[in-house]
Amino acid sequence: MSISIVNAAELWQRDTSLPAIPTFSQSLDKVFGDDGVQLCSLTELLGLPGTGKTQISMQLCAAVQIPKVLGGLDAEALYIDTNTNFTPERFRDILIGSLEKCNRLLDSPTEINEEAALNKLHYVNAFGLEKYCAFMLRLPNLIEKLQIRLIVIDSIAFPFKEGITPSQRTGLLFRQMAELQRLAVEKQIAVVVTNEMTTRVGLSGGDIVGSLGDAWAHRCNKRVLLSKHDDDADPSVRAAVCLKSNDSPNNVARFRVSMLCYSGRNIKRYLFS
C-alpha cells in the first residue's frame, strides 16, 4: 500500500476544482454546498415519509446527465433501491423535464434522445439484507465498467431492520460505508443515502431522530434533514436543514416540488423551483 503526502494548498485546489451535481433549486444547492451535492463525499438525506428524499434522489440521477457545455458531468448514476421506492414513470418525467430545461439553455438545442438518457441510470433492486450485502460486495467491480459519478442508496436503514443484531449491523454497515467512501474519493463519485426517522425514548419522553444511532450520525460528510411545511398554504413546499457539514455552514432552505407541462404535452414533470 502506497501512502502519499500532499500539502494543504494541493488539497484546497483539488477540492475547489471538483464539480457538483445541482438539484435545479439554488436554495437547496446552498444547503448541500455552493453548487449542489459534492463529488468525493457521502451525503445523507433524513426525513419522514413524503418529505422528498426519493424525489431529490431521482432528481440528482437526472441532473448528473447535464451536458459538460453547461457545466455538468454528462455522466451516469446507480440507484440501489432497498425499499422499492423507485418508480420508472416518475423518473422518466423528471429526466425529460430536466433535459428539456437544459436544452433551452443551449445555443444550439439538440433533440433529446430519451432512450439514451434512460440508459444512463442503472437500477438495482436490493430488497432484503442478503441481496443488498451481496450486491455491495460486487459494487467495486461494477464501478470499473461504467461511467458512474453518482450512487444513491434508498434507503440505507431498510435492509437492517430484521435478521441482524445491533452490534452486527454496526460492524457490517461501517465496513460498507468505509468501502463506499474509498470509492467516492478514488473515483470522484458522489454518494447519497436516504435514511428514515425513528423515536428515541428518554426519561422526559420521546424524540424523533434519524435511524441507525449516534455513531452513524458521524459517518457521513453531510446530513440534511427534510420536512414539510404544514402551516404553509402551498402543500408542495418543503424545508431542508443542514445538520452537519464539514465544508459549509448549517444553512436552511425552502424549496418546492412542482408539476409542469412541456411542449404542449399533458405530462407531469416533477421539478424543483
Kindly state which CATH superfamily the domain 22-272 is placed in.
Answer: P-loop containing nucleotide triphosphate hydrolases (3.40.50.300)
At residue 167, the pLDDT reads 83
Confidence of residue 264 (pLDDT cuts 50, 70, 90): very low
Q: What is the DSSP pairing of strand 76-81 with strand 121-125? A: parallel
Q: Give the global pTM.
A: 0.87
* Mean pLDDT on 210-234: 79
| Amino acid found at 181 | Q
CA atoms within 13 A on the CB side of 237: 8
H helices of the chain, in order, are: 8-17, 26-32, 53-63, 88-105, 114-118, 129-145, 166-187, 213-217
Choose the weakest-confidence range: 120-134, 198-212, 217-231.
198-212
Res 249 pLDDT > 80: no
CA distance 143 to 140: 5
Domain boundaries, the chain: 22-272
Percent helix, strand and coil across the chain, each to the nearest 5: 35, 30, 35
At residue 104, the pLDDT reads 82
At residue 60, the pLDDT reads 95
Cell 441510470 belongs to: 121
Q: For the chain, give the mean pLDDT.
A: 83
pLDDT digits (tens, 9 = 90+) for 135-170: 999 999 999 888 999 999 998 989 888 878 888 888
Res 252 pLDDT > 60: yes
pLDDT digits (tens, 9 = 90+) for 163-201: 788 888 888 888 998 999 999 999 999 999 999 887 766
Confidence of residue 39 (pLDDT cuts 50, 70, 90): very high
**How many angstroms separate the Cα of 164 from the Cα of each of 128, 160, 169?**
12, 7, 6
Buried b (16+ CB within 10 A) or exposed e, 31-61: bbbebbbbbbbbbbbbbeeebbbbbbbbbbb
* Mean pLDDT on 40-47: 93
pLDDT digits (tens, 9 = 90+) for 20-36: 999 888 888 889 987 89
More confident residue, 70 or 224: 224
